[in-house]
Structure formats: C-alpha cells, structure tokens
Amino acid sequence: MISTAQLKPESQLARPAAHVIASIRGALPGPTLIILAGIHGNEPAGVLAAERVWLRMQERRAALRGEVVLLRGNTRALEQRVRYINADLNRQWTPENVRAAGLEPGTTEVSELFEQRELLTVIREAVSRARGEIYFVDLHTTSAHGLPFATVGDTLRNRRFALTFPLTIVLGLEEQIDGTLLEYVNNLGAITMGVEAGQHAAMTSADNHAAVIWIATAATGNFRREDLPELDQSRSVLKQASGGTKVVEVRYRHAIVPQDRFKMEPGFRNFQAVRRGKVLARDRGGEIKASETGLILMPLYQTLGDDGFFLVREVKRFWLTLSALLRKLRVGHYMHLLPGVRRDPLNENFLIINTRIARILPLQVFHLLGFRRLRWTGKYLVVSRRSYDLAGPTKFVF
C-alpha cells in the first residue's frame, strides 16, 4: 500500500550515514554480522539495544574477528515513530524492486524509496568489506505482548545458527510475506534470522534484543565465547523471557484488508494455546474462529498491517533430524520424477505440483525437503527449492 504523503525537502536528500549506528571491525579476518534494527519505524527497541551494546563491543575490538555492523532501518519513520511513511519498507525487496531502486534516483514522493536506496548503499559497503561468511539478523517487535521468538527461512545453515539461541523458532512465517529484506539477503546466500523481541513499547523488548545481539556475536564466531563475558547473562535473559529453544511451524495465516474492519478479540498473547472453534476476532462478516487447535501468533493489535493472526504448532525434533538427513541425501532433487510433480520449464528450482494427482504430497513434505511455498492457485501448488541450504555461495554479491 503506497500513500502519497508529502515528503519534506530535507527528507529528500540521500543520507546513508543516518542508517549506521556503528560498525566495529576487528583486526583479524572473520564473519560479517549485520544487525538491522527498526525497519519498522514504530519498533525502536532494536535501535535502543544496538545503541546500548556498541560501545562495549568497541572496547573489545582487539578480540573481535571480522566485523559487526549495526544499522537503523527506516530512519524517517523512526523519527516520526510510525511504522512507515508511505509504504512498508519490509515489503519491497523483490529482485525487480531492488534493481529499480539501485538505478539513478528519479524524483519520488515515496519516503521508503529513499530508505531502500540508502540501505542498499550501506549494506553493499559492508558486504564489500567482508572477509568471511555473511550473517544478517533483523530485529522487530510486535503489537501484542508475549514471548520473544525467531523467524527463520528453513535452510539447514539458518537452522543451525538459530538453534544456538534460547528462543522459539518459527518456520514458515517468511513464506507468508513477500518482499522482506531478510528473504532477499537469504536468497543471496547470507545466513539470516529475524527476531521478534516482545511488545513494541515494553522495556524488556530492548533487553531481549541486546541479548540477541551478544549471543549472535558468539554464534557467528565474531567473538570467542571466552572473550565474551556478556554471553551467559544474555543467554539467561533470553531463556527466562522465552522458555528455551523449541521449533514451531506456521499452519495458518489470516490475511486481512482494511475493508474487512478486522478486530482482534482482546487479551491474546503470542503462543497462547487456542482450541479449534474458539472465537479469535471479528470482522464485517462476523466471528472468526480458530480453524484448528494450536498456538496463536502475532494477533494484530495495531491499525496498520495485513496479517490478522497466525496459527502455529510445534515441530518435534524427530522431524527436524529426518529433514536434515533427507536434504543431505538431496532427495529434493528427485521429486520431479514423481507423478503429478514437474519442474517449471523456466526455472529448474521451481516445482509445479498437481495436488489432485500428487494427493499424498502435502506442502509439509516439500518443507521437509527444503522447499518454500510460492503460491497455491487452484489445484496447482508451486514451490521453490531454497538456495544455499547446505552450503553458502563462493562469493556473496549484494
């Protein structure tokens, strides 16, 4: 959704430096960890956390390997404490949009186009300085209260990284939303994780984000554990806030548009258990009930947004282990040999599944094998194989 609010002239000057909270570069080579905070302007907790930790990190520079880059996302929206000015900055990172944004800036009234161009500049600079693997962590908060969690595009590399955090890991949330920055850098081969630290205005959200940043610097290898006195404290902060590591998958998304006049019933928290049939919200069509028993995620308690709520359920360790094994055996490369499954003639990483013929192959099977849902039109399900599931690119180009 793009509105045409007027941009002040001073907001139309490119100011990439406003996005850089700090970049701390160690003398030794090693991974680059990019932390992005506040891509939604009404989510300042990540920015507060980054501003809080960077000085101490700077003091430890002698022990740092590689580089840690702490970035602000939507700077103009952060100043005005709104989610976005004209358009959601975290929905416009499709390859086509990025290509267009990288071109010579024409005149635009859209604040987020400036933001996107500036972010492209600072991330490209960080990537060009990189001396190792690229990690990218995107810090968010939610309108509802509840436990913090991580959102992970399910490659084995992302999974391994995310499982080192004492957080609930949500699989399959990212495929519900197109054009996120995280998905974009993930597809280029970075190891990525999104974090929802709690409610927008809760004091604990900044604490949780600060803990995530410290743990991330150990998980990447930027700091050795013995050089990081903050590690134990950070782990216990997160563990206490989230209840420890577990994995859940998205089962249902309730998409909304403004005309629906969607209104969540009060009092739901992230990961609250709900039974099938429970009334969760209302819109102009009447009651909206839980389609299955599970846990509610991200119930919408703000005016902007197009997700009403999600339903998730726990994934047992057995399935994670099985899926890792099947992927290492590259089973996904042979799925097109099955009846009802064919390769997209235009892209060999896309599969088109006729769900009438291949009835026994629900979406979960493809998830297990490392595919991402692209769309579901009529009887055809289209999935794409995630790139860089087992190994990263030889050279990362942003």
Footprint of Zn ion on this chain (CB under 5 A)? 40, 43, 140
Q: Which is nearer to Zn ion, 86 or 384 (CB)?
A: 86
Nearest distance from residue 361's CB to Zn ion, in Å? 33
Are the CB atoms for 244 and 166 separated by under 8 Å? yes
Nearest distance from residue 345's CB to Zn ion, in Å? 37
Q: Which is nearer to Zn ion, 44 or 294 (CB)?
A: 44
For residue 94, the 8-state DSSP code is: S
Structure tokens at 116: 């996107």
Nearest distance from residue 46's CB to Zn ion, in Å? 9
Nearest distance from residue 5's CB to Zn ion, in Å? 20
Q: Please list, in sequence order, all residues whose beta carbon lies within 8 angstroms of the beta carbon of residue 345, skipping any fewer than 6 positions away.
A: none
The span from the CA of 160 to the CA of 155, in Å, is 9
Q: Please list, in sequence order, all residues whose beta carbon lies within 8 angstroms of the beta carbon of residue 143, skipping any fewer than 6 positions away.
A: 199, 200, 298, 300, 301, 302, 305
Nearest distance from residue 344's CB to Zn ion, in Å? 32
Q: Which is nearer to Zn ion, 140 or 367 (CB)?
A: 140
The span from the CA of 327 to the CA of 225, in Å, is 30
Are the CB atoms for 144 and 41 separated by under 8 Å? no
Q: Which is nearer to Zn ion, 49 or 218 (CB)?
A: 49
Nearest distance from residue 61's CB to Zn ion, in Å? 30
Q: Which is nearer to Zn ion, 185 or 361 (CB)?
A: 185
Q: At what angle do helices 203-219 and 45-59 cross, to 10 degrees?
A: 40
Burial of 338 (0-12, 13-18, 19+ CB in 10 A): middle
Q: Where are the alpha helices (DSSP H) in 7-155?
A: 45-59, 75-80, 95-102, 111-128
Q: Which is nearer to Zn ion, 43 or 174 (CB)?
A: 43
Q: Which is nearer to Zn ion, 40 or 157 (CB)?
A: 40
Assign residue 189 a region (left: φ > 0; alpha: ψ between -120 and 50; beta: otherwise): left
Q: Which is nearer to Zn ion, 43 or 67 (CB)?
A: 43
Nearest distance from residue 140's CB to Zn ion, in Å? 3
Nearest distance from residue 210's CB to Zn ion, in Å? 17
Element (H, E) at 125: helix 111-128
Structure tokens at 326: 């099947």
Structure tokens at 70: 């702490």
